[in-house]
Amino acid sequence: MKSQYPGQKYGTILKREALSNAFVDADISFLVLKSSDPFPGFYCPGKNPADNSCKEISYYLPVQVQAGCIEDIICRVSLEIFNGSKIQVCASKVLLGGKFVQAIRIKGTNLTGIQRIVSIFNKNDIQFYKSRKVNIYLAKIYLKSFFEVKKLESSIYQNTYTPELFYLAIPEKLDWKLFEKLITYQKTSSTFTNFDAALGYWIQTPAFADFIRIYGTKLKLSELQAIRDGFLENLKNYKEKKILI
């Protein structure tokens, strides 16, 4: 796959989303979960409802535990599928039944496409959880994937293939609890809140690059700068005073 930008990355995204059964009326043997609502999501104060309709649905297929590392198999298959296709497949871990399990995240296709992808993984000796009822719940999710970015300015990047995704560089690694505290405060106290946020990093020499991942439609560079500056200001205040003002 040729790249027009020297910005191909491999990294991890950490987020939380509400998950529930997908294709409940279909006769399928494997478990498929779908994302229904991201956290903190498109929070809109006042009378304006949250609008997550612009986001593509993600599907998660938990994988049966097996010996060895399956991430390399998932990476190889995902690149083969993505080459010339809009379908996105990546390795993930999802919280299910009180524990993290390996899973495959799929976007950009329907049930027929998912069944074809499952058959490819089955041929690579990867088996999936059997279908069962799962009530909707809020799950922490790790995604590990390739993505390609272009630089908008020194610390702001945009995804080449999904232009609604942006990456705002931050100076240090944050744990999820602190990130959640900061971004929730920002989205409930700022005048601009119509975006979804996650935490992540990508691997580069000589060190990891940490960022907050932003999803939003028609975001201007000035709005991205305001999100980043507000987040960093809140981080500074919290580290100095242990409170958010």
Dist. CA 75–CA 105, nearest whole Å: 12
Give the model's pLDDT for residue 47. Answer: 42
Contact 227, 168 (CB under 8 A): yes
pTM of the model: 0.87
H or E element, residue 120:
helix 111-123
pLDDT tens per residue, range 95-106: 999 999 999 999
Which of 159, 162, 158, 171 has its CA nearest to residue 221? 158
Give the model's pLDDT for residue 95. Answer: 95
C-alpha distances in angstroms, 210 versus 72, 187, 220, 229?
23, 20, 22, 15
Which two three-digit tokens encode residue 17?
A: 């989303």
Dist. CA 203–CA 199, nearest whole Å: 14
Question: At residue 46, does pLDDT exceed 70?
Answer: no
φ and ψ of 230, to 5 deg: -65, -40
Which of 208, 185, 207, 183 has its CA nearest to residue 197? 183
Scored b (16 or more CB within 10 A) or e, 96-127 reads beeeebbbbbbbbbeeeebeebbeebeeeebe
pLDDT tens per residue, range 188-242: 887 777 788 999 999 877 778 999 999 988 899 999 999 999 999 999 999 888 8
pLDDT tens per residue, range 69-126: 788 888 888 888 877 678 889 999 999 999 999 999 999 999 999 999 999 999 988 9
